[in-house]
Amino acid sequence: MNENPHTTPLPESAFAFHGSHSRAVDAKGRFNLPFKFLRGGSGPEEEKFVVSKGADGSLSLLPRSVWLANFDRLREGEPGPKLRAYLRRMSTNSKTVEPDSQGRVAVSREILAEFGIEKKIMIVGMGNYMELWDPETLAAMNAADEGDEAFNDEFFR
């Protein structure tokens, strides 16, 4: 049976993270994850995450199992200097974090500052991972994307 890929159901875990959430960042670089992204909410059952440089100038926060699966998939590439560079980039720029009893994760102030994140952070759910943004940077990106009718036509067809 030929199913339309846009209507084929995906596992619920593929959509564990969605929405945007504004959070305060304390002096130690800690911020609360949305409750629904933690065990006990509607999010994934695991409690360890990996923070790493993400796409489009963001930081990414992935469940550790997703990060490891992505890393393993990347390792299946053609052996050589380019593959080693990709693996090195992902390994060097990643750190495992675990929410504390209050649902906070800690990211070093140096890493946050590198991405312009100081007192506030926007957590954007991207399906199986989250993006971490400086609120002003994200707002500027969103404003630049306003009026993209091709996107609207594709998403809402």
Q: Average pLDDT, stretch 8-23?
A: 69
100 is a domain residue:
yes
Domain interval for residue 149: 13-155
CATH number, residue 103:
3.40.1550.20
Stretch 125-153: mean pLDDT: 86
Average pLDDT score over residue span 101-123: 93
- Of 11 and 151, which is predicted with more confidence? 151
* Mean per-residue pLDDT of the chain: 83
pLDDT value for 7: 44
Whether the Cβ atoms of residue 29 and residue 106 lie closer than 8 Å to each other: yes
Domain assignment of residue 50, yes or no: yes
pTM of the model: 0.80
Spatial separation of the C-alpha atoms in residues 101 and 37, rounded to whole Å: 14
Instruction: Give a yes or no: residue 6 inside a domain.
Output: no
Given a cut of 60, is residue 42 above it in pLDDT? no
Please give the average per-residue pLDDT across 23-38, as a whole number: 90
Count of residues in the chain: 157
Residue 8 belongs to a domain: no
Number of domains in the chain: 1
Q: Which residues contact 112 (CB under 8 A, 6 or more apart)?
A: 25, 29, 59, 118, 121
Query: Is residue 3 assigned to a domain?
Result: no
Higher confidence at residue 106 or residue 42?
Answer: 106
Residue 109 lies in a domain: yes
